[in-house]
Structures are given as structure tokens and as C-alpha cells.
Amino acid sequence: MQTMTLDGIIERIKSANGVSDFKITECVEHSYQLFFVHGKLETVRCCESEETQISVYVDHDGKRGNASFSLSGNMSEEALDKKLKQAIDNALMIFDEPYSLPSDETSDVCIESNLSSLEPKEAAARAAKAVLEANVYDDCDINALEVFVTKHILHIVNSRGVDKRQTKHSLSLEAIPTCNGESESVELFETYTLAELDEEWIKKEISARIEDVRARLVAKKPTQKIDCPVILNAYELKELFETLVADCNFATHYSNTNLFNVGDAMQSAPKGDRLNISMKPLVKGSPASSNFDGDGCGLVGRQIVKDGKVAAGFGSFRFAQYLGEIPTGVLPCIDVGAGETEIKDMLAKPHLELVYLSGLQVDLLSDYIGGEIRLAYYFDGERRVPVTGVAMSGKLSEALNTLTLSKERAVLGDYSGPAKISLEGMNIF
Amino acid sequence: MHQDLSTFLAERREDCRELVKELKKSFSYVSVLGVDAECTNIRVTSRTSSVSDGATADCGFAVRLYDGGAFYEYSLDDVKGDKKELAARITAALQVDASIKDTVDTRPLADEPLEKTFVRESDFDKYSDAQLLDFCKVTKQALCAKSDNIANAVVQLRKQRIRKLFVSSNRVLEQAYTWVNGVMLIGYREGDKLITAREGACSHLLGYVMATLPSKIDKLVDKAAHLVHAKPIVPGEYDVITDPSVTGLLAHEAFGHGVEMDMFVKDRALAKHCMGQQVASEICNMHDGAAATLSVASYFFDDDGVLASDTHIIRDGILVNGISDLESASELGTAPTGNGRRESHKRKAYTRMTNTFFERGKDKLEDMIASIKHGYMIFETNNGMEDPKSWQVQCVAEYGREIVDGKLTDNYVAPVVMSGYVPDVLKSISMISSDFEVEGAGMCGKGHKEWVCVSDGGPALKLKVRLG
């Protein structure tokens, strides 16, 4: 808990010599957490935290320097003055190109969520019940479950008239569905961060994962080489598109580490669906949604990939200025345009549908996509069987040319877009 | 030169004692962990510079309560003020919904008497941030001067000053130590190809890191010049030699996570049923422990107030021990090993690895390379993923170099994903080099969260494994 008021902090900063601009970021977190082992309560946690970060900007020698530090709750005015002086000295050693801060924007918003009207302990208990009751099999169990119900308050104030506050709620779940066979036991690892409590969705989702873990128990390593399109689900798509959009960030361009420029084709010779990707501030159901970024810059959505070609960049107020672009703010939500193929049609053709990977490796610079497959469903045109013990790899650039996007959509974390995407040319071994 | 303990924590020591005393009226076990961790990132790139707090900066308290059944924890920024009021606030906040009735079976938490202060040598006070920033600038300039192909260069020092206080009814422990990670990273362009390459150095001493990083500039640029021509590997099973970094990743992912004993409690680790069994070739020995070596995860006591140790996990190929935090030890009826760690005072303590490594062997690296007709030596950890339940493992190395007829060639492949069934991989280890290196630049998550600093390493290993 801060002992100094915001006004008091601002006063100390203003009285420090040499500060051209400043930004104060306050993060407040109230969290209630439950941890279960085999359905029994193991740990109850509460977290009450307030953190303040101060950034000072110093104009000198035609350049701008900045430095930041945390203000701990116990800090005295004298200690703050000392930290400020050190930050100013550090900023004087930094010779970055000049830039301005966002200005004259104020807002106080609460991102809508049914969690705001629930007692955290009730929301946590209901979420836990939904997960634990999803299992109806004697040979299955939720071996471990963690539930986090959190209220986040972010408040940003700067010297140019920005004063923005945002309140968000989130529900995070980590569940380990497990299936116990006669000689073997297998599990899946599932993690979700949700913007709402939707017990029916949770039950349905966990039930589906329990069916998957039952499949994992009987999954076998294929006896013959598999050669067919690979279908990615939302977990993998999140990884894939996070990598792709990072290349369009103004900061990446300013550091000269981008692969694509505006007008370049991400899909060089598309034989399938073309990609359309937008960055957005708010997506319903996405816990990443936000009204402003870490600079307090209001967010403006932008389409960054159109028909497979890079259409625009996006990014912070500072790096937009450096590049002579219109700032969008650091947009948090990735929105990928859906296709026209229904999932049932996608699944009707031979395919390998990934359910659980060690972790999808996507490397734009090495032109690589791949990973170890822990559970997938292989459909050879007649039979759908669970498989395990194989890996896949391929050239990312070639895979992007072969996409089939599902008509149905999904939201997962910062990703919203086709629920499934099929790609071809992967080496499964 | 020694460093100071935390003034803030020293000022709160009595508050912690009083809070423990107050809460003891309602709970059989009470402890308070105080954290005052500074982390400063000093970063210079080709076009920007910054000095800011790093992700591991942390200041606050975690209160643990136990009275049979479940454990209770409350994280807060400060413990100053009326203790009766604070204790009532904590107790009220930790109420559980009436619908939840069953709790796990636990045993009382040990609270052996001990009062001790631990301080490690540090040279942090010899260098101002301005000096460190200057070092980064000079090193960046030296790096950029090496090649016109360097599109971006980054030199970063991340210095951490960790200070912790642990107070329970019978224990008062304090510790202070430092660690610094230095890294040089370049974006290297040739034609339309762009790659990244890195070199690093880490130590408890800034002076060591500042002396070591510049000596690796030529190696870094040479590596980048090769990597820009790296080809994809042809997937398949190969004879492979791992460098110490990848050896460490294998130790960490293959058996480190699998012997975290909170995974035993949850029946999430096959290792629980394999104690005393052979799980690796008989020339393999593996350790974990904050006291096992000096690296980024070396501390004197863990976040449960348990003293650090060196756990011998695999002895001559046999799985002999796991690692545990206080809670999982309470649930299993075993002794904690000093592996209870939190991402911050705001997060739960779990059983976590610290410094994890294979012991050195007797072979010479050149003999190991000479023994391979066709294979790869693979270098530098990128990331990995464990599967303690089914013993699958995936380790991603930054690059590999082809070995042909017993010679290490300049045929680079990247990236390299190594995967397989853990016992098959570990039992295939046929040679272990006599050199040894532990790298302390990594972060490890539990699942996809709870990030803590870890080190891992060891010697070079020769094994047979699937690469893709």
C-alpha cells in the first residue's frame, strides 16, 4: 500500500531539476486463488498489491533520455528524491531521438464482465465446481486445478494531460485432466484466461478435454508415415499469429529486425485462403482487451495484413513518431479473418488434427514451424484414430501458402479468428 | 566486498514477529516471507537505450498459515500497522465458499529453531548505473564495428540484488546476494536473410561479466556469419553431441520437472513410481540444488525458510531422489529439500528447480566427435517442454553443426528440435565429456506461468536422439 499520494509523488517529480516529462503507472491487483489436488482443496491464497512505476524523460543535447524505477510502498519522500535524481542522471546518459508522449486524454472505464458483480470466493468456487463436475468417468480425474479470480486496475498519468484508468476482471484456470489405464496414466495440460465466468462453457470445454485425454491413453505411434494436411486449433494458432504480427510492430521495424515491409507478401504464392489480420483494442471475450496501452495512448484498430500482404504496421506512440506513421498504440488483440470452409468439411478429408503439442515452434527468421506431437487425431478418409509419439516440421513460408481457414471462429487469449486452420506440406515423422 | 542486507526488511523484522505471534493465536503454523529484490535492466541497442526495472523486481510479504488440512497464504505490500487488525483482515480474506468442504491430507509443517544471516560477496556497489550504461554503449559500438551486416545490436546487463527475510515462530533467517546476466544479441542480415545470434555471460560479480562479454564479440559475429547460411535439418534419428547448454536443458526438461515432488502429490510424474530404478545410462549422474553450484538460482534458504541443499537425483543411472518444497513434503511425509520458490511475493511457492546439471564424465570432447560417422553437435538452449507423466521431452537448440567422419564441419543447421522418450534418450548416453559449464541465464515456468530464474548445464553428452 502506497504511503505517498499520487499528488504527492507528482509534486516531488515536478520539484526535481531536469525532468522534461514524466509518466506514473499504478497497478492494483486483488486476487483470490484456489488450488485443488484430486478435487480436494490444497491451498487458498489472497493477494492485495499496489505497484507504482515512475518514468522520467529528460531532453538534453537535442536528444531525449528516459529511465524508470519502481516505487515501493514503504518509500519515503527522501528515498523517492534519491531515486529520482538517479533516474535523471541515467536519462542524461541516454541519447535517443526525441519523441513526445501522448497528451490530453482522460478516461475511466471498466471492461464489462460478470465477474465484477460476483464475490471472488464465490466466482472461484463456481469455476472450480464447473471444472471438477465436467468429469463423468471413473477412470478420469482432474489431478490438479488452479483457479485465479483477479481484479486489475491500471492507472496511467503523465505530464501531458493523460489520466486514464481501466478496471478489468479475469478468471484463470489451470486444469490437468488425467486418464488412468491399467498399466499407464496419461494427462493433458489445459490453461485458460477468461474475461467472464461461463460455467456452461467451462464444463463443455473440460468435458471435451477429458475425451481427448481418454484418447491419449489409447493413442499409438503410427506404424506408417503420415502424409496429409495438418489442422491447427486455437492454441497453436495463437502462437502462430503472435509471431507473425510481431514482425509488423513499429518497434521491430525501428530496430531493423523485421522480415516484412508494407506491401510484402506474407503469403508469397497462396494456393489456399488468403490471410487478413487486424489488430484491435477490444474483442468480446478476450482477456487481452484494453482501451489504452502502457503509455496511456488510446488504441485505434488497424488492418495489418490484407489478402496475404502486409498492409500496415502498428505500435506505440513513440515508435510511430520515429517512423513517421500514425500511432495506433500497442494493440493487444489479434483478429484473423475467417474462411468459408466449415469445420465439418475440413474434417471430412484426410488430415492430422493436432490436439496437444509440447509447444508449437514458430520461427519467422529460420522459416520454421514444427513441434513434438503428444496427441493428434489422424483421419485417413475412413477412420479417425488418436496418435502420439510423432513430430512435425516444415517451412513456415510454404505452409502459409496452403492455408484453409475455418468459417467457425474461436477466441483464446489475445487470438480471435478461425477455430481451425489446415496447412499442407508438413513433414510428419 | 559484501553487500548490505535490506534496510526495509530490517525495519519490518519486528512487525513480522508480531504478526506471526498474533496469527499463532488461530493457526498452529505461521510464517512470513519478506522480499526486497531490485532488478535493473541496462540496455543499449543500435538506436535506443534504457535503464528500467526488470521483471524480477519485487517488494512485499507472503504470509503462510496452517492449522491442519489446507494451507492458506496472503500476499501484501507491507506488514506495518496494527497487527490485530491486520491478522483479522488476513483471516477474513481467506474465507472459503461454503460449497468447498474436502481438503487434502497434510502433516504439520516443521519449524526447527534457527536464527541466521547469510550474505554473499558482491561488487555491485563498485559500479554506478552510468558506468554500466557506458559499458553497454562501448560494447555495442565494438560489436557494430565488426560487420556491416549487423542490422541491430543489443547489449544488456540485468543486475539483481535479492534480499529476503523469513520469520516463523522458531526461525528468523535473512539473506542477501546478487546476480548479473549480460547478453549481446545481434540481428544479422545478408541479402534477404535475417537471423539473430547471441552470446552471454553471468556471475555474482559485475566485474566478471564486464570482462567476459567483450571477449566473445568475435565469436558472436563469426557464429552469425555461419548461421545466416544455416539450412533446415533433415528430420531423423542421429548420433548427437549436446553442448553444456543443451545438456542442461535436457537435464532440466527430461528429469528436472519430473522429480519436482509437488508433481508426485498430484500424481503428475511417472518418476514417483521409478525411485530406485534405472532411468539413464549408468555413466549418468544428475543434481539439482541451490547449494549444488554457484549460479543464478543459488540462495541460502528457499521461500519456505528451508536451507538450500544439493540433491543427487540420478546416481549411476539410478533415480534416487526428488526435490520438494515445504507443502509437498508435508503432503508426502518427506523432508523438504529447499526447492520451494515463488515467482514473486504475490505468487504461491511450488517445488522448483534451481541449478540442475549432469556431472562431468571422463571422455574428451574430441574423442566424442571422432566417434561419430554422421551426426550433429547441437548448441545453445532456446526452449524446452517437459512431460513428466508420459516422459516425452522436447528441447529446442539454436543451431547444430554437422559431424561427418568424426569431424565437426561448418555445415550449420537451424533451428534444431530434439524430442523423444526420456528413458530412451537418457539410456542412449554413451559418452560424457570431462569439461563442465553451468549457464545461469534461463527462466523456467511451471506450466505456462510462475517464472523463476534457473541455471542448468553440465558436460557434453553423446546420445542418440530424434532431431527435426
Q: CB–CB of B47 and A395 under 8 A?
A: no
Which pLDDT band, with edges at 50, 70 and 90, does B90 fall under?
very high
Selected residue of A146, A393, A398, A427 to mutate for chain B interface (largest B Cβ count, 10 A): A393
* Whether residue B1 has pLDDT greater than 70: no
What confidence tier does B448 reach under pLDDT thresholds 50, 70, 90? confident
Are A85 and A234 in the same domain? no
Q: Give the phi and the psi of residue A351 in degrees, each rounded to 5.
A: -165, 165
Do residues A281 and A155 both lie within one domain?
A: no
pLDDT 10s digits, A82-92 = 999 999 999 99
What is residue A401's predicted lDDT score, i.e. its pLDDT?
98
User: Does B425 have pLDDT greater than 80?
Assistant: yes
pLDDT at A347 over 90: yes
**From A41, A50, A93, residue closest to B100, measured CB to CB:** A41
**Half-sphere exposure (CA, 13 Å, Cβ side) for B177?**
18
The per-residue pLDDT for A372 is 87
pLDDT given for residue B3 in this prediction: 63
Dihedral in degrees, nearest 10, Cα atoms A391, B270, B385, B376: -60
Please give the Cα distance from B32 to B74 (Å, whole number). 9
Domain end position, chosen among A167, A196, A217: A217
Tell me: do A121 and A201 sit in the same domain: yes
Q: Is there a contact between B53 and A97 if contact means CB atoms under 8 Å apart? A: no
Give the position of cell 489475445: A414
Q: Rounded CA gap, B55 and A274, in Å? A: 38
B126 touches chain A (CB under 8 A): no
All three cell numbers of A186, joined, read: 496419461
Among partner residues B51, B449, B466, which is closest to A67 by beta-carbon distance?
Answer: B51
Facing residue for A365 by CB, picked from B49, B195, B387:
B195
H or E element in which residue B8 lies? helix B7-23
Same domain, A115 and A263: no
Interface contacts A/B by beta carbons within 8 Å: 235
Average pLDDT, chain B: 95
Identify the pLDDT of residue A159: 98
For cell 565469436, what's the residue? B219
User: How confident is the model over A365-412, as pLDDT tens digits?
Assistant: 989 999 889 999 999 999 999 999 898 999 999 999 999 999 999 999
Task: Determine the Cα–Cα distance for residues B22 and B346; give it in Å rounded to an integer.
Answer: 22
Phi, psi of B42 (to 5 degrees): -110, 115
Domains, chain B, in order of start with CATH, read 7-227 (3.30.2290.10), 236-467 (no CATH)
* Predicted structure pTM score: 0.94
* A146-178 tens-digit pLDDT: 999 999 999 999 999 999 999 999 999 999 999
- Residue to test with chain A: of B6, B104, B127, most A Cβ within 10 A: B104
How high is the mean pLDDT of chain A?
95
Q: Within a domain: residue A236?
A: yes
Q: Residue B394 and residue A370: Cβ atoms within 8 Å?
A: no
Q: Which of residues 14-53 of B touch A (CB under 8 A)?
A: 36, 45-53
Average pLDDT estimate for B67-73: 95
Give the one of A176, A366, A392 whose C-beta lies nearest to B414's C-beta: A366
Sheet of strand B311-315, all strands in order from the earlier edge strand to the far edge = B318-319, B311-315, B286-288, B355-358, B449-458, B437-446
- pLDDT grade, residue B394 (50/70/90)? confident
CA pair distance A360, A354, nearest whole angstrom: 10
**Which residues, 6+ apart, have CB-to-CB distance to B275 below 8 Å?**
B319, B320, B321, B322
Regarding whether A40 and A10 lie in a shared domain, the answer is yes
Across the range B261-283, mean pLDDT stands at 95
Interface touch A259/B194, C-beta < 8 Å = yes
Select the residue of B102, B129, B266 nearest A41 (Cβ to Cβ): B102
Coil, strand or helix: which one is A376?
Answer: strand
A1 in a domain, yes or no? Answer: no
B69 to chain A: which residues are within 8 Å by CB?
41
- Chain B: nearest CA to A61, how far in angstroms? 15
CB contact (8 A) between residue B49 and residue A65 = yes
Of B99-103, B309-313, B337-341, the least confident:
B99-103
Hey, which of A2-16, B246-260, B378-392 has the most confident mean pLDDT?
B246-260
Whether A225 is in a domain gets the answer: no
Give the mean pLDDT of B238-252: 96
Domain tally, chain A: 2
Look up residue A329 and give its amino acid: G
A300 with A371, same domain: the answer is: yes
CB-based contact, B274 to chain A, within 8 Å: no
- Which residues 278-307 on chain A approach chain B with CB closer than 8 angstroms? none
- Determine the angle formed by the axes of helices A77-92 and B129-144, rounding to 10 degrees: 20
Which of B273, B396, B412 is the mutation pick for testing A, counting most A CBs within 10 A? B396
Inter-chain residue contact B72 with A43, CB threshold 8 Å: yes
A267, A327, A363, B280 from A244: Cα distances, Å: 11, 19, 9, 40
List, as ranges, residues 305-324 from A with C-beta within 8 Å of B.
none
Decide if A37 and B417 are in contact by the 8 Å CB cutoff: no
Q: Which of residues 393-452 of B touch A (CB under 8 A)?
A: 393-394, 396, 414-415, 417, 419, 421, 447-449
Of A217, A250, A275, the one marking the end of a domain is: A217
| N-term to C-term CA, chain A | 55
CA distance A296 to chain B (A): 18
Gap from A47 CA to chain B (nearest CA, Å) = 5
Out of B51, B268, B417, the one facing A90 most closely (by C-beta) is B51
What proportion of chain B, given as a percentage, has pLDDT over 70? 99
pLDDT at A205 over 60: yes
Encoded amino acid at A233, one letter: N
CA-CA distance, A152 to A169, in Å (whole number)? Answer: 6
Write out the DSSP string of B20-61.
HHHHTTT-SEEEEEEEEEEEEEEEEESS-EEEEE-TT-EEEE
A271 and A192: one domain? no
Nearest residue of chain A to residue B229 (CA atoms): A366
Assess whether A420 and A333 both reside in one domain. Answer: yes
Residues A302 and A212 reside in one and the same domain: no
Instruction: Give the residues across from A298 on adjacent strands.
Output: A292
B chain contacts of residue A128, beta-carbon cutoff 8 Å: 100
- Does some domain include residue A255? yes
CB neighbours of A358 closer than 8 A, spacing ≥ 6? Answer: A371, A372, A374, B385, B387, B392, B393, B394, B419
Residues A307, A362 within the same domain:
yes
Taking contacts as CB-CB distances below 8 angstroms, the residues of chain A near B389 are 178, 185-187
Q: Is residue A112 part of a domain?
A: yes
Q: Which of A147, A142, A145, A40 is nearest to B104 (CA)?
A: A40
- B225 touching chain A per CB within 8 A: no
A223 falls within a domain: no
**Alpha-carbon gap: B195 to the closest alpha carbon of chain A (Å):** 6
A:155-174 residues touching chain B, CB 8 A cutoff: 174
A242 and A204 part of one domain:
no
Contacts of A87 in chain B (CB under 8 A): 51
Name the residue of chain B whose CA is nearest to A76's CA. B8
**Residues in chain A within 8 Å Cβ distance of B348:** 33, 35, 43, 45
Position A2 scores a pLDDT of 52
- Taking an 8 Å cut-off on Cβ atoms, the answer to whether B46 and A47 are in contact is no
Residue in this structure with the C-alpha cell 530490517, named with its chain if needed: B10
Query: Could you say which of A193, A217, A241 is where a domain stops?
Result: A217
> Do the chains contact at A393 and B232, CB–CB below 8 Å?
yes
All residues of chain B having their beta carbon less than 8 Å from the beta carbon of residue A40 are 102-104
- Could you report the predicted ipTM of this complex, rounded to two decimals? 0.94
B151 vs chain A: nearest CA distance in angstroms?
A: 6
CA nearest B191 in A: which residue? A259
The C-alpha cell that represents A101 in the structure block: 508522449
Pair (A416, A301) in one structural domain: yes
Summarised one tens digit per residue, pLDDT across range A91-148 is: 999 999 999 999 999 999 999 999 999 999 999 999 999 999 999 999 999 999 999 9
* Averaged pLDDT for residues B384-392: 85
* DSSP H or E run through B188: strand B171-190
Its domain, for residue A176, covers 6-217
Instruction: Please report residues of B whose CB lies closer than 8 A to that of A72.
Output: 8, 36, 59, 77
- Within a domain: residue A181? yes
For the segment B196-208, the average pLDDT, to the nearest whole number, is 97
B 85-104: CB under 8 A from A = 90, 93-97, 99-100, 102-104
Tell me how crowded residue A382 is: count the other CB atoms within 10 A of its CB: 6
Contacts of A266 (CB under 8 A, 6+ apart): A244, A260, A275, A305, A308, A309, A310, A400
Alpha-carbon Rg of chain A, whole angstroms?
25
CATH number at residue A195: 3.30.2290.10
